[in-house]
Amino acid sequence: MRPLPVAITVLAAAGGVGIVRRRRQLAGVAPELRSPTTWASMSLRGPRSLQASRRLISLASVAQVLAPGVTPRDERIPASGDRPELRVVVYEHQSRKHPSGALVWIHGGGLVMGTPGQGDGLCSRIAAELGVLVVSVDYRLAPEDPFPAGLDDCFAALEWVHERADELGVDRERVAIGGDSAGGGLAATLAQRAHDHGMVPVCFQLLQYPMLDDRTALRSGPDALVWTRRSNRWAWGAYLGHPASVNESRPYASAARRVDLSGLPPAWIGVGNIDLFHDEGVDYASRLAAAGVPCDLYVEPGMYHAAEQLMPGAPSMAQFVERLVAALNAAIGAQASTNG
């Protein structure tokens, strides 16, 4: 008899009900996205599980493959006020023409884990294919540094790109922001803060299955694969500094809390239809459009959270990333410069 995959073994230890429940969840997964890894879900519930998850993400980052001709370099943004020195990772292709567009990228990880290295593959691809500068932010993480520390770091990185635009060879009119998962949520709040600040214009926001609404942690419903309701509740509590509550009123704490979305930069939102963040992503896209903000929403059938990272060889996931890159190219790539 063949041994069960580790994740299935864990579920079996918890009882047959766990396996039955997971099989029902997997029924909605596109066949090409099914693998033993989809039996496992990240379950954050405290410091011990957080440290284990952080180690796993660090190991995954090492396996990233850089696009040819792109060599990342570290830059340091000096400390300012209560903010410590900030590291950003810069990606540019050796043939990039100046001035080019730029993307400030914010990695995912539920606001509590992750590093710029986990985005090496995508960031270097964007730099190579679009001929733009990509700046990935090594922002502070909760619970050690709750809101607004991470957002402050992202804003500092955006300011740094604008302030050093001439030196970096960047067109200030073609500076976009983007991120995946928690990074997408931070990018959305960064777009709001930049709009209100008025001195660091953003031309586009690229939101990959973004974590937009802390109120999702208050809602019940069927669980999701990979990023679960339990993890979402714990992560939001760590970031906000208190359990998610209907009374959260701090500006920029949660992108979906903002009432007036008018005047924000155009957006692309991509999410799977079985992702925990599906409903909040679709709702935010609808509200942007209603406020007069151009927003291209793409929903991938049968896609769970971060499926393109777990199953990068699946044709649907290659297409999902192609759509993301194409949307960014239209906003800040060489063709955008020509059209402008």
What global pTM score does this model have? Answer: 0.92
pLDDT of residue 39: 65
Please give the pLDDT value at position 18: 54
Domain ranges of the chain: 1-40, 47-339
Question: What is the average per-residue pLDDT within 214-230?
Answer: 92
pLDDT in tens, 263-318: 999 999 999 999 999 999 999 999 999 999 999 999 999 999 999 999 999 999 99
Query: Tell me: the pLDDT tens digits for 178-218?
Result: 999 999 999 999 999 999 999 999 999 999 999 999 999 99
Q: What pLDDT, on the 0 to 100 scale, is given for residue 8?
A: 31
Domain 47-339 classification at class level: alpha beta
What are the catalytic residues?
Answer: 181, 275, 305
As beta bridge partners, residue 299 has 271
Minimum mean pLDDT range among 23-37, 85-99, 233-247, 308-322 = 23-37
